[in-house]
Protein backbone atom coordinates (compact mmCIF):
# COMPACT_ATOMS: atom_id res chain seq x y z
CA UNK A 1 0.00 0.00 0.00
CA UNK A 2 1.54 3.34 -1.05
CA UNK A 3 2.20 6.05 1.49
CA UNK A 4 -0.33 8.88 1.40
CA UNK A 5 1.38 12.25 1.74
CA UNK A 6 0.23 14.34 4.71
CA UNK A 7 0.57 17.61 2.77
CA UNK A 8 -0.97 18.42 -0.62
CA UNK A 9 1.56 18.91 -3.42
CA UNK A 10 2.93 22.42 -3.80
CA UNK A 11 2.50 23.90 -7.29
CA UNK A 12 5.66 25.04 -9.02
CA UNK A 13 6.66 28.65 -8.42
CA UNK A 14 6.51 29.45 -12.14
CA UNK A 15 2.74 28.88 -12.45
CA UNK A 16 1.31 31.76 -14.49
CA UNK A 17 -1.58 33.56 -12.91
CA UNK A 18 -2.56 35.81 -10.09
CA UNK A 19 -2.11 34.99 -6.38
CA UNK A 20 -5.20 35.57 -4.27
CA UNK A 21 -5.28 36.64 -0.60
CA UNK A 22 -6.39 33.16 0.49
CA UNK A 23 -3.28 31.55 -0.99
CA UNK A 24 -4.92 30.20 -4.14
CA UNK A 25 -3.81 31.06 -7.64
CA UNK A 26 -6.19 32.14 -10.37
CA UNK A 27 -5.04 31.25 -13.87
CA UNK A 28 -6.36 33.55 -16.56
CA UNK A 29 -7.09 32.16 -19.98
CA UNK A 30 -6.05 34.32 -22.91
CA UNK A 31 -8.94 34.85 -25.27
CA UNK A 32 -8.31 34.06 -28.88
CA UNK A 33 -9.86 36.10 -31.62
CA UNK A 34 -10.76 33.99 -34.60
CA UNK A 35 -12.09 35.38 -37.80
CA UNK A 36 -14.78 33.63 -39.80
CA UNK A 37 -13.52 32.04 -43.01
CA UNK A 38 -13.50 34.24 -46.11
CA UNK A 39 -16.39 33.64 -48.44
CA UNK A 40 -16.22 33.26 -52.21
CA UNK A 41 -18.94 33.70 -54.77
CA UNK A 42 -19.28 31.25 -57.62
CA UNK A 43 -20.19 32.90 -60.93
CA UNK A 44 -21.29 31.58 -64.30
CA UNK A 45 -20.20 33.55 -67.36
CA UNK A 46 -22.35 34.05 -70.44
CA UNK A 47 -21.41 32.60 -73.80
CA UNK A 48 -23.26 32.35 -77.10
CA UNK A 49 -23.22 28.56 -77.34
CA UNK A 50 -24.37 27.00 -74.05
CA UNK A 51 -28.14 26.39 -74.08
CA UNK A 52 -30.17 28.22 -71.44
CA UNK A 53 -31.75 24.92 -70.39
CA UNK A 54 -28.31 23.52 -69.55
CA UNK A 55 -27.51 26.57 -67.39
CA UNK A 56 -30.81 26.16 -65.53
CA UNK A 57 -30.04 22.45 -65.01
CA UNK A 58 -26.57 23.31 -63.61
CA UNK A 59 -28.07 25.86 -61.22
CA UNK A 60 -30.62 23.33 -60.00
CA UNK A 61 -28.31 20.34 -59.73
CA UNK A 62 -25.11 21.86 -58.37
CA UNK A 63 -26.43 24.90 -56.49
CA UNK A 64 -29.83 23.54 -55.33
CA UNK A 65 -31.90 26.41 -56.73
CA UNK A 66 -35.57 25.86 -57.53
CA UNK A 67 -36.75 26.26 -61.13
CA UNK A 68 -37.90 29.88 -60.74
CA UNK A 69 -34.70 31.03 -59.01
CA UNK A 70 -32.52 29.14 -61.49
CA UNK A 71 -34.38 30.77 -64.38
CA UNK A 72 -33.93 34.23 -62.84
CA UNK A 73 -30.18 33.66 -62.37
CA UNK A 74 -29.87 32.28 -65.92
CA UNK A 75 -31.54 35.40 -67.32
CA UNK A 76 -29.21 37.62 -65.28
CA UNK A 77 -26.23 35.72 -66.69
CA UNK A 78 -27.67 36.10 -70.20
CA UNK A 79 -28.32 39.85 -69.90
CA UNK A 80 -25.41 40.98 -67.68
CA UNK A 81 -22.74 38.56 -68.88
CA UNK A 82 -22.30 36.92 -65.46
CA UNK A 83 -24.35 35.91 -62.46
CA UNK A 84 -23.78 34.73 -58.91
CA UNK A 85 -24.80 31.12 -58.31
CA UNK A 86 -23.99 31.07 -54.59
CA UNK A 87 -21.57 32.14 -51.86
CA UNK A 88 -19.45 29.50 -50.12
CA UNK A 89 -16.25 28.88 -48.20
CA UNK A 90 -13.14 28.60 -50.38
CA UNK A 91 -13.01 24.80 -50.54
CA UNK A 92 -16.71 24.40 -51.30
CA UNK A 93 -16.60 27.14 -53.96
CA UNK A 94 -13.57 25.55 -55.66
CA UNK A 95 -15.27 22.15 -55.66
CA UNK A 96 -18.45 23.56 -57.19
CA UNK A 97 -16.45 25.33 -59.91
CA UNK A 98 -14.70 22.07 -60.81
CA UNK A 99 -17.97 20.10 -60.83
CA UNK A 100 -19.68 22.63 -63.12
CA UNK A 101 -16.73 22.81 -65.51
CA UNK A 102 -16.57 19.00 -65.70
CA UNK A 103 -20.32 18.75 -66.38
CA UNK A 104 -20.08 21.40 -69.11
CA UNK A 105 -17.17 19.60 -70.79
CA UNK A 106 -18.99 16.25 -70.64
CA UNK A 107 -22.00 17.87 -72.33
CA UNK A 108 -19.77 19.59 -74.90
CA UNK A 109 -20.54 23.16 -73.80
CA UNK A 110 -18.01 25.98 -73.35
CA UNK A 111 -19.68 27.23 -70.15
CA UNK A 112 -17.25 29.04 -67.87
CA UNK A 113 -17.54 29.00 -64.08
CA UNK A 114 -15.28 31.05 -61.81
CA UNK A 115 -14.98 32.01 -58.17
CA UNK A 116 -13.97 35.32 -56.62
CA UNK A 117 -13.81 36.74 -53.14
CA UNK A 118 -17.19 37.97 -51.91
Partners of 1 in beta bridges: none
The three state secondary structure string of 46-69 is CCCCCCHHHHHHHHHHHHCCCHHH
Partners of 45 in beta bridges: 82, 112
Tens of pLDDT, residues 28-66: 888 888 999 999 999 999 999 999 999 999 999 999 999
| Band of residue 11 on the pLDDT scale cut at 50, 70, 90 | low
Domain coordinates in residue numbering, the chain: 48-117
Tens of pLDDT, residues 72-114: 999 999 999 999 999 999 999 999 999 999 999 999 999 999 9
Question: Domain 48-117 classified CATH 3.30.1390.10?
Answer: yes
* CA-closest candidate to residue 117, choices 81, 74, 84, 76: 84
Contacts of 20 (CB under 8 A, 6+ apart): 26
| Band of residue 13 on the pLDDT scale cut at 50, 70, 90 | low
Decide if 90 contacts 40 (C-beta within 8 A): yes
pTM of the full structure: 0.72
Amino acid sequence: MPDIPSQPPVPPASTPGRDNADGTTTIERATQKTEPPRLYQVLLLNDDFTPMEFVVMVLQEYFRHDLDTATQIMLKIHHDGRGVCGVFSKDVAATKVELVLAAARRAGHPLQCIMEAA
